[in-house]
Amino acid sequence: MEKHLICLDLDGTLLNDKKHISPFTKRVLQYLQKSGHEIIISTGRPYRASLDYYKALEMNTPIVNFNGAYIHHPNDQRFEPVHEQFDKRIATKIFNDISKLNVKNVIAEVRDQVYINTYDQTLFEGFSMGNPDIKYGQLNELLPESPTSILIQAEESEIPTIKSHLTKHYAEFIEHRRWGAPFPVLEIVKKGINKGKAVKYVADYLNIDYDNIIAFGDEDNDYEMIQFANYGIAMGNAIPELKAIANEVTDSNNNDGIGKYLNQYFNLNM
């Protein structure tokens, strides 16, 4: 069988609700790697919060972080990294808008540097993976350069209003997507950034035919990746909008959805 590229979102997809990779799915993925197929992580998380899973699967491929705003190869210096930051002036305007909206907190990230507007123990625990340098205070004053991403944390009921505001005032500059787990937040990245473009970049580097790309996701930040992949697979727990555009729907993240699909697709009989 020709070499395939298998693209894995993390939260709600590869990871179960306890943030673990199940033994069966891990066994299937590692078998496929040893058989010559390529596997990548494609996530909204920063690299530091993806590294443990990258190591657990013994990967040796590029990794897609911040929904495609940062792509690099941890083990190959020859790989040309991508780091797309959006204009700091736009970030400043968004920070100033926050006072008009019912927002709980705002987090800005520059690769693995974290800047949080207001201290929150839960947020600290969620963003401290990988021991980043975390600073607190007014983001307009703290942020040293253009951000890789901004996260806006708000109550679920406020998310539609905030999304509408961002679309109305900043549509030509930014992309914004909703996260489900681990926090109900909106992530903002530079205009034109998405996982679909990132997967294409990696597939070109690995010289893999686009017809041989399989991608798994569950949220709206997976939309372009699922559309781009020849086999775009939504998890059983995915949002309805993603299921509607996926080629197929597999089982949930808590019930080996990835492992089951790949076991059947590759006729592994595991």
DSSP state of 25: H
HSE at residue 90, side-chain half, CA atoms within 13 A, is: 20
Please give the full DSSP string across 149-190, using - where no structure is assigned: EEEEE--GGGHHHHHHHHHHHHTTTEEEEE--SSS-EEEEEE
The residues that are catalytic are: 9
Q: Backbone phi, then psi, for 108, in 5-degree steps?
A: -115, 145
Q: Distances in Å between the alpha carbon of 257 and those of 24, 58, 116, 135, 250? A: 10, 20, 35, 38, 5
DSSP bridge partners of 135: 115
Closest residue by Cα to residue 68 from 239, 179, 192:
192
Q: Which two tokens stand for residue 125?
A: 């625990």
Is the separation of the CB atoms in 72 and 62 below 8 Å?
yes
The Cα–Cα gap between 69 and 64 comes to: 8
